[in-house]
Every structure is written in C-alpha cells, then in structure tokens.
C-alpha cells in the first residue's frame, strides 16, 4: 500500500465570525487509506472536511491561520484554481443530493461541465463510476429514469459516483450513512474499502462503530481540538488519552 503523504495540515486555526472552531490542528493524511475523523457535535469535523477543498470559502466572515498542503503544495496559494481543487478533492454530503435529472445525466453532468463532449467517453465514465460506487448492477437497465426514483441508499451511492466521474484524488464524506438502513450502509462501506485502492478517503463516520469497521487510521476531535490520532487498532483498542477512551466507550457524547 502506498504510504506517501497526500495531505498535510499544519498549525491550522479556523474562525467563524471571530469565534474559533478549530485550534492549532496538525495532521498528516496518507494516500490510499481511509481516515475517519470522529467526535461529538461541535468538534469542528465538518468544518475541517470543508476546509480541505475550500468549500468554507463560500461562508462569510471566515478567517484561517496555518496551511493545508495537497501533494506538498498549499491549497491557499493564489495560483491554485479552486475549481480544480474541488475536482481533485470531491465531497459527498450527509443529505443525498441527486440532481433533478436522469441517473445517467447525474453522472454525466460533471464531465460535460468540464468540457467533455464525447458521448462514448461520457458513457464509459458513467458506467465506470457507477461500478466503482457499487451501483451499476442495480441501475444499468434504467439509466434514463429520474435519479429521485432511487432509494436513499442508492441516491447516496449515486452521489459517490458523481464525484468519481470527475476523477478525483481525494474523497471527503460527511456522515454519508446518516439516516440510511443497515443494508445500504454496508454497501457504501464495502465500496469505500475498495475505493481506497485508487483514492485517499477522509470520512466523518456515522458513529464510532462505523469508524472501527472501515478505518485504516482514526482521528478523535473534541471542541475543535485534535485529541488523538493513529492507526485504527491503536485508537480503538488502546487509546492513549482518557477522553478518547471515554468517548469510544460511550461515557459521553
């Protein structure tokens, strides 16, 4: 497995309207692994994920300190194209957000917007993306149907496929299984385990149990502070910080 560093977060502080929500965060994210960032509400986890592809730029009165490096280059450099950054670092949100169009067109939308006019290439991209998201076999005979006709779990995998169609390098997932049934959750988790062969994955998991099941590395955050991070087996079997142990065992949160 490729252990090279994909993302480096250095002395990162984040403020909303003058209120600090992330404090002095230092974190290395290796390539081709699943990293779970978990913790109770108001721990800055969603803010962290949205910072990794600068979605937080869309929020008013934001201030940051420190840096985030992608492949050794600052994502905040003036020369960085934010559009290209968000292609490289794709995001799947908690709420399923299929576009009001067909299953096929949902996946084709991004490549078309990027200038790909080849029907053959787009068709190949749609099939490949749906296969990687473990959805192809369920929808291959009804690609012209509205995406909204899919179940919640299928819609979420469609959203994963839509990100994959843009050929990202990193996939961010903010509680993608929240509200899904156990079968749909298992299918998404299975696809994530396969996708890490090709992508770096950072996920805010639905719960601690999900983090245990799918992570290579895990990060525990509390009130904007990184409390502990390390290999999955160390964090969940032998946490070094009592606060990590208390959260994992349900004493708070």
User: Cα(100)–Cα(113) distance, rounded to whole angstroms?
Assistant: 16
**pLDDT tens-digit profile of 22-38?**
999 999 999 999 999 99
pLDDT per residue as tens digits for the range 196-253? 999 999 999 999 999 999 999 999 999 999 999 999 999 999 999 999 999 999 988 7
Q: Write down the pTM of the prediction.
A: 0.94
pLDDT for the residue numbered 1: 36
Q: What is the pLDDT of residue 111?
A: 93
Going by the DSSP 8-state scheme, the letter that residue 55 receives in this structure is G
Q: Is residue 129 in a domain? A: no
Does any domain span residue 11? yes
Residue 206 belongs to what domain range? 5-101+168-248
CA distance 176 to 53: 17
| In a domain? residue 253 | no
Residues of the chain with pLDDT > 90, as a percent, come to: 90
- Indicate the pLDDT class of residue 2, thresholds 50, 70 and 90: very low
Question: Domain holding 88: CATH number?
Answer: 3.40.50.300
Give the number of domains in the chain.
1
**Helices assigned H by DSSP within 89-229:** 103-113, 119-132, 136-139, 152-164, 182-195, 208-214
| Residue 60 forms part of a structural domain | yes
Residue 200 placed within a domain: yes
What's the whole-number mean pLDDT along residues 58-64?
Answer: 92
Q: Is residue 70 part of a domain?
A: yes
The C-alpha torsion from 172 through 15 and 239 to 53, rounded to 10°, is 20
- Residue 234 in any domain: the answer is yes
* Helix/strand/coil for 207: coil
pLDDT-based confidence at residue 115 (cuts at 50, 70, 90): confident
Residue 147 falls within a domain, yes or no?
A: no
Per-residue pLDDT at 225: 98
Please give the pLDDT value at position 252: 82
């Amino acid at each position: 497995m490729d252990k090279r560093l994909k993302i480096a977060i250095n002395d990162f502080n984040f403020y909303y309207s003058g209120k600090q929500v992330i404090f002095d965060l230092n974190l290395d994210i290796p390539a081709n692994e699943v990293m779970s960032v978990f913790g109770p509400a108001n721990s800055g986890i969603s803010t962290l994920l949205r910072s990794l592809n600068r979605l937080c730029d869309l929020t008013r009165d934001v201030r940051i300190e420190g840096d985030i490096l992608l492949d050794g280059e600052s994502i905040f450099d003036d020369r960085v194209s934010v559009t290209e950054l968000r292609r490289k670092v794709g995001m799947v949100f908690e709420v399923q957000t299929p576009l009001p169009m067909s299953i096929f067109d949902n996946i084709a939308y991004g490549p078309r917007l990027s200038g790909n006019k080849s029907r053959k290439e787009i068709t190949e991209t749609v099939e490949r993306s749906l296969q990687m998201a473990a959805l192809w076999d369920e929808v291959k005979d009804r690609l012209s149907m509205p995406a909204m006709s899919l179940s919640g779990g299928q819609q979420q995998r469609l959203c994963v496929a839509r990100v994959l169609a843009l050929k990202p390098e990193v996939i961010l997932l903010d509680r993608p299984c929240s509200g899904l049934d156990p079968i749909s959750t298992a299918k998404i988790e299975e696809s994530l385990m396969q996708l890490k062969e090709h992508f770096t994955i950072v996920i805010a998991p639905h719960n601690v149990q999900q983090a245990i099941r799918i992570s290579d590395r895990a990060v525990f955050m509390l009130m904007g502070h990184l409390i502990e991070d390390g290999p999955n087996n160390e964090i969940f079997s032998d946490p070094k910080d009592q606060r990590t142990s208390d959260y994992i065992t349900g004493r708070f949160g």
